[in-house]
């Protein structure tokens, strides 16, 4: 890591530390900007990762997308170019050296604005790319992130300057080695854009059954093309994607109010409680009730949430 990046990360760490307060995820006065702090290694948290950019300045995290592992820490950032069901865990943190990270959510329209205002060449016919990637941070990107975070010190400038700094951050990501994975999710009619429409449909209807032909019609693709491009983007099939959404939501419900397991299984779309329990155990390592009890026993004084 260069001396310049080291100094930049030190400044950003101080800003995150100052404005995050306690452990957890903290929304800021800047729309779509969140500060994250953890002083202990966390439970693996299964959740839908929103379209976002996240940079760590202290500690380390591991994110699991299907069978793929993304491990990153200071000097790297991670981007999700669509909403994805993932499992994330802070794997390096302590009270003396807490995990510190900054997350910025964005939209396809913001990407389109950057593309239209720049000389980045794009094409609709490119194959869809994996929607999650880790990349090395560059001083130019880190400088834009720091200027965005500094606005927390003087909030009156947020309405005017935050959109400009956000646009600059997205510009530098697009200029990076994985920029194509980001641009393809914003270009209307591209393979990535059509897969994003299917993902949105599944997320909005995760508790309902569907035929693969219906999803192919949404994407305006053949069934074979849909399977190929969907797996390239998400690392899983549409059915596997839906299953992860169902099980994540079931776990959230069980943690929230100790609802009857059979009722939760039905509410997330399962017709068989035994099938639900088998698939839950396969994903989380324990049957539903044992898993929830273990999490509560291991975190007696901390509110459990799936929003990490």
Per-residue model confidence as pLDDT tens digits over 213-241: 999 999 999 999 999 999 999 999 999 99
295-300: list long-range contacts, CB under 8 Å, 24+ apart: 295/43, 295/255, 298/43, 299/43
- Whether residue 306 is predicted with pLDDT greater than 70 in this model: the reply is no
Residues 6 or more apart whose CB falls under 8 angstroms from that of 166 comprise: 32, 104, 106, 110, 148
Per-residue pLDDT, 302: 46
φ/ψ bin of 220: left (φ > 0), alpha (ψ from -120 to 50), beta (otherwise): left
The band of 123, judged by pLDDT with boundaries at 50, 70 and 90, is low
Q: Are residues 153 and 50 in the same domain?
A: yes
Closest CA to 175 of 125, 134, 127, 118: 118
Q: How many Cα atoms are found within 13 Å in the side-chain-facing hemisphere of 128?
A: 29
The band of 255, judged by pLDDT with boundaries at 50, 70 and 90, is confident
- Whether residue 242 is predicted with pLDDT greater than 50 in this model: the reply is yes
In a domain, residue 249? The reply is yes
- Whether residue 33 is predicted with pLDDT greater than 80 in this model: the reply is yes
The band of 308, judged by pLDDT with boundaries at 50, 70 and 90, is very low
Q: Are residues 33 and 176 in the same domain?
A: yes
In a domain, residue 306? The reply is no
Note down the domain range covering 246. Answer: 240-298
In a domain, residue 194? The reply is no
Q: Are residues 63 and 167 in the same domain?
A: yes
In a domain, residue 206? The reply is no
- Token pair of 39 as six digits: 């002083």
**pTM value?**
0.90
Q: Are residues 259 and 172 in the same domain?
A: no
Q: Is 198 exposed, middle or buried (0-12, 13-18, 19+ CB in 10 A)?
A: buried
Domain boundary among 183, 218, 253: 183
Q: Are residues 162 and 268 in the same domain?
A: no
Q: Are residues 121 and 248 in the same domain?
A: no
CATH number of the domain encompassing residue 120: 2.60.120.810
User: What are φ and ψ of residue 73, in 5° steps?
Assistant: -150, -155
Measured on CA atoms in the order 150, 156, 160, 166, is the torsion positive or negative?
Answer: positive
Q: What is the mean pLDDT of residues 115-132?
A: 76
Q: Are residues 126 and 275 in the same domain?
A: no
In a domain, residue 305? The reply is no
C-alpha span between 246 and 269 (Å, rounded): 7
- Number of structural domains, the chain? 2
In a domain, residue 188? The reply is no
Per-residue model confidence as pLDDT tens digits over 262-278: 999 999 999 999 999 99
Per-residue model confidence as pLDDT tens digits over 52-81: 999 999 999 999 999 999 999 998 999 999
Per-residue pLDDT, 134: 96
């Amino acid at each position: 890591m260069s001396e310049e990046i080291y100094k930049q990360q030190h400044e950003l760490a101080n800003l995150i530390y100052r404005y995050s307060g306690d452990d957890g995820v903290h929304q800021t006065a800047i729309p779509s900007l969140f500060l994250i702090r953890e002083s202990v290694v966390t439970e693996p948290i299964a959740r839908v990762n929103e379209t976002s950019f996240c940079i760590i300045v202290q500690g380390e995290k591991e994110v699991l997308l299907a069978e793929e592992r993304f491990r990153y820490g200071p000097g790297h950032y991670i981007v999700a170019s669509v909403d994805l069901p993932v499992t994330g865990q802070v794997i390096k943190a302590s009270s003396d050296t807490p995990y510190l990270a900054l997350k910025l959510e964005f939209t396809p329209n913001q990407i389109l604005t950057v593309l239209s205002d720049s000389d980045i060449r794009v094409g609709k016919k490119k194959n869809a790319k994996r929607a999650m990637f880790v990349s090395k941070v560059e001083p130019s990107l880190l400088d834009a992130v720091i200027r965005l975070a500094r606005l927390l010190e003087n909030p009156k400038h947020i309405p005017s300057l935050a959109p400009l700094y956000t646009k600059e951050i997205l510009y530098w990501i697009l200029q990076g080695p994985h920029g194509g994975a980001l641009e393809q999710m914003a270009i209307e009619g591209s393979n990535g854009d059509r897969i994003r429409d299917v993902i949105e449909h599944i997320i909005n209807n995760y508790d309902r059954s569907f035929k693969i032909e219906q999803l192919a019609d949404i994407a305006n693709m053949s069934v074979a093309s849909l399977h190929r491009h969907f797996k390239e983007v998400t690392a899983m099939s549409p059915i596997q994607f839906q299953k992860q959404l169902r099980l994540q939501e079931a776990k959230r419900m069980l943690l929230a109010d100790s609802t009857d397991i059979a009722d939760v299984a039905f509410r997330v779309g399962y017709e068989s409680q035994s099938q639900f329990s088998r698939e839950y155990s396969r994903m989380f390592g324990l049957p539903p009730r044992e898993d929830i009890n273990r999490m509560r026993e291991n975190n007696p004084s901390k509110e459990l949430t799936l929003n990490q």
